[in-house]
Structure 1
Amino acid sequence: MANWIRIPSSEDQCVSRPDMHGEQKTYQREVGRAGFQGPASQIYHRHAPAGWAVFEGPLRPRAFSMSKLSPGPACPLQARRVLHNDRMELRYWKTENKMHALARNADGDTLIFVHSGGGELFCDYGHLSYRDGDYILLPRGTAWRIEPLESCEFLIVEATADAFKLPDPSTSGQRASIDPMLFTLPSIDDAFISQQDDAFWEIHIKRQGRVSTLTYPFNPLDALGWEGDLCVVKLNWRDLARSCSDGAKVPPAAYCTFVTESFAVSTFIPKIGEGESGVMRVPFYHSNEDADEFIFYHRGEFFARGEIKAGMGTFHPSGFPHGPHPSAYQQKMIKAPVETEEVAVMIDSKMFLNVDESIPDGAEWKAYVKTWEKAKETL
């Protein structure tokens, strides 16, 4: 674990702070370590921290329109890869077809977020219905398949050689840990029993990034019951919203939903009573120095992103400050309603993330880096 030098002060928050009642306008930037779970400082700048004039080189913010990615393939283990490193793979899968083979990830746990559509999921543990906004956590080695009832789009996150856990409230800043009672478990129900047959079934198994095929002369999803504390679970963002709807202001780390040893998955959900006119709201300008950040925008209009719409994803590598777009600053960050509508999934990775360069140009918004360049004249 890293050791940081702690700088004491009279307020135990900062060493030098501007006069907030004077006429000098300042821009707050939070500099934080360990995904804002470690030491942090607030720096008050004369100019907008993201008001750069030119951005050159391979390190840059990037944005993707996931809806522009082509559908398929039939096997979700080979879905379009967007980001990756040695401990994580992030893929996006669009399908409307029933899976005629099972999938099994032997490289790590799989977390699926349902962006759109609904249907039925069958796995080693039974049957689950799914809808938009669901997280489905599949432990490593679980065999599964889906039967969509309509066209579906999924964000698929693999914890390579790792497992997903619930966050520790003592380190995430949460008022209470996620209640496991919110989870829905699969059922050995009539739908599960009726799909069992003696036809030939394939299981596609991913190991070290390569897919092998195992064939059975019967459906391997033939469980009659199970017991234990390892299982597929489902959680919807709406359940999280109902469990923390008091409108209290909370730090970004409080939205953490699942964690691994190298990255965290957080869920930004609609908030009531957090903002008021004339008061700056998070996410303010910030520098998360120990994490690369990816955000997938599920629904609504994210109040810090003027041009980003639902179904898009943004990637902000560590090393430069980022924050609200100039077009969103006045309209949403200061003159903001007290109720918000956005839902987004954020991944903070301690290890550097690589963008998969096989993503077609038509799915990337190349001008995204330029959206901050007019910050000085706009703010």
Structure 2
Amino acid sequence: MPSYHTLGKIPHKRHTQFRKPDGTLYAEELVSTEGFSSLYSLVYHTYPPTMVKELGEPYSVAPKIAREKHLKHTSLMGFNIEPADDYLQSRKPVLVNNDLHISLAAPRKSMTDYFYKNSQADEVVFIHEGTGALKTGFGNIKFAYGDYLIIPRGTIYQIEFDTEANRLFIVESFSPIRSPKRYLNSYGQLMEHAPYCERDIRQPENLQTNDEKGDFKILIKKQGLIYPYIYGTHPFDFVGWDGFHYPWAFSIHDFEPITGRLHQPPPVHQTFEGNNFVICSFVPRKFDYHPLSIPAPYNHSNVDSDEVLYYVDGDFTSRKSVVKGQITLHPGGIPHGPAPGSVERSIGKESTNELAVMIDPFHPLMITEDAVKIEDENYYKSWIS
């Protein structure tokens, strides 16, 4: 969870007069979540954030469902998603339910002629390939391979890439993204046994006040539609802000694995959570140290949840045939486990270099048309010796 943070200039007391050098008032805005009962920040704008000059026709970006109900182990070759110049056009939803949407993206160019705001979901953007900066009114965050960018709903942003070859794994959460409750004390601080701490969280820096009038296109997502707005002032006109609601970053390389004498269950890898799903990070780590331990994961019957694994890099104990960007979906209701030969091969090994992101949703995922295009149709047979 992000802690209290502030950048720029703010008045001594909230909801009081805060004037520009010319004597006119800055515009105060409360950015709040779940009404007035959850995280919020107070933002001070050069101009009121309400100056709409024009509205365009909304258009749909809702996922197109190919298989609403299914019971089949599924594999998607994520790097087969074709690159596209535009950031939003490159985003392809592949697995979705009412709690979250999972998308893949391969944008080649930076967002230069528009800004984007997701008003329906928090976004977790995992950087698989590429470098650049997330730019917002709250400040900027540089990113690189392995970074999770957590962008709260309602945040207007641009992504500026340094590279053309960019690969992103994106989770849209229709509930707030949080650190796991079991790692937080009653004051909201990450505890000593947590696999990361506050110093690992990167907050926005280098707030730049854009005092500009003109025509500024902001594409706003709401209920599966994109609404084109033209505002009369630059959206990054913050002179200052403070609070708990802002974008932040965490690197998967800063996740400290929890290991044990025997094989540890997947919840030890949990990194974030939303309502009805969790996000986990599998990172390089020492294997179990019982003299008779079996490092490979045991067979597991998913009874109450699906399991999604996004392979990032390294060698995987449970399966040799995976490639970068591959997604496996093991639906609830049938067991899955290590590939043939993996159990014996793992015995005696002391460590693994695997890197992966796992998502366990507690409601079934639907498979989209974009997913079917990159599906390995024979994956379900891969447990036959």
Matched, 1:206 2:191: no
The one-letter code of the counterpart of 1:113 is F
Equivalent of 2:131, from 100, 118, 133? 118
Task: For residue 111 of structure 2, give the secondary structure of its aligned residue in structure 1.
Answer: coil
The alpha-carbon deviation at position 86 of structure 1 amounts to 1.1
**CA offsets 1:328-377 (integer angstroms, 9 cap, x no match):** 2322x324x2121001100000111001123353x211111111022xxx
Task: Name the structure 1 match of 2:72.
Answer: 60
Alpha carbons 1:301, 1:310 under 8 Å: kept: no
Which blocks of at least 5 consecutive residues in structure 1 are unaligned?
Answer: 1-56, 375-379
Matched, 1:138 2:151: yes
Task: Name the structure 1 match of 2:116.
Answer: 103
Distance change >3 Å, CA 297–CA 226, structure 1 → 2: same
Which blocks of at least 5 consecutive residues in structure 2 are unaligned?
Answer: 1-68, 185-191
Alpha carbons 1:73, 1:79 under 8 Å: kept: no
Matched, 1:354 2:369: no
The alpha-carbon deviation at position 169 of structure 1 amounts to 2.0
TM-score by length of 2: 0.74
The alpha-carbon deviation at position 273 of structure 1 amounts to 4.4
Task: Name the structure 2 match of 1:371.
Answer: 382
Alpha carbons 2:308, 2:360 under 8 Å: kept: yes
Task: Name the structure 1 match of 2:311.
Answer: 297
Structure-2 separation of matches of 1:205 and 1:77: 14
Point out the structure with the larger helix share.
Answer: 1
Task: Name the structure 2 match of 1:21.
Answer: none
Task: For residue 67 of structure 1, give the secondary structure of its aligned residue in structure 2.
Answer: helix
The alpha-carbon deviation at position 286 of structure 1 amounts to 0.7
The alpha-carbon deviation at position 318 of structure 1 amounts to 0.6
Matched, 1:287 2:301: yes
The alpha-carbon deviation at position 224 of structure 1 amounts to 2.3
Alpha carbons 1:96, 1:149 under 8 Å: kept: no
Equivalent of 1:344, from 348, 356, 373? 356
Task: Name the structure 2 match of 1:183.
Answer: 201
Alpha carbons 2:195, 2:255 under 8 Å: kept: no
Structure-2 separation of matches of 1:168 and 1:252: 16
Distance change >3 Å, CA 63–CA 104, structure 1 → 2: same
Alpha carbons 2:87, 2:105 under 8 Å: kept: no
Structure-1 separation of matches of 2:293 and 2:286: 15
Structure 1 segments, 4+ long, off by >4 Å, are 195-199, 244-249, 275-278
Structure-2 separation of matches of 1:62 and 1:207: 30
User: Once structures 1 and 2 are overlaid, which stretch shifts more, 281-290 or 84-93?
Assistant: 281-290
Structure-2 separation of matches of 1:158 and 1:77: 16
1:294-333 aligned at under 5 Å gives the runs: 294-331=308-345, 333=346
Structure-2 separation of matches of 1:257 and 1:138: 16
Structure-1 separation of matches of 2:156 and 2:274: 21
Task: For residue 301 of structure 2, give the secondary structure of its aligned residue in structure 1.
Answer: strand
Distance change >3 Å, CA 283–CA 73, structure 1 → 2: farther
Structure-2 separation of matches of 1:146 and 1:123: 9
Task: For residue 358 of structure 1, give the secondary structure of its aligned residue in structure 2.
Answer: helix
Task: Name the structure 2 match of 1:237.
Answer: 252
Matched, 1:158 2:175: no
Task: For residue 227 of structure 1, give the secondary structure of its aligned residue in structure 2.
Answer: strand
Task: For residue 308 of structure 1, give the secondary structure of its aligned residue in structure 2.
Answer: coil
Equivalent of 2:92, from 76, 80, 87? 80
The alpha-carbon deviation at position 128 of structure 1 amounts to 0.8
| Count of residues in correspondence between the two structures | 308
Equivalent of 1:91, from 82, 88, 103? 103
The one-letter code of the counterpart of 1:66 is G
The alpha-carbon deviation at position 282 of structure 1 amounts to 4.5
Structure-2 separation of matches of 1:69 and 1:177: 32
**CA offsets 1:185-222 (integer angstroms, 9 cap, x no match):** 01135xx45x7755532111110011001112342112
Task: Name the structure 2 match of 1:256.
Answer: 270
Q: Report the identity percentage.
A: 27
Alpha carbons 2:287, 2:351 under 8 Å: kept: yes
Structure-1 separation of matches of 2:261 and 2:245: 34
Alpha carbons 1:107, 1:140 under 8 Å: kept: yes
Task: For residue 95 of structure 1, give the secondary structure of its aligned residue in structure 2.
Answer: coil
The alpha-carbon deviation at position 240 of structure 1 amounts to 1.1
**CA offsets 1:145-172 (integer angstroms, 9 cap, x no match):** 1111112111110112x1111112279x
Alpha carbons 1:198, 1:218 under 8 Å: kept: yes
Q: CA RMSD in A?
A: 2.5
Structure-1 separation of matches of 2:281 and 2:294: 21
User: Once structures 1 and 2 are overlaid, which stretch shifts more, 271-280 or 162-171?
Assistant: 271-280
The one-letter code of the counterpart of 1:204 is L
Task: For residue 200 of structure 1, give the secondary structure of its aligned residue in structure 2.
Answer: strand
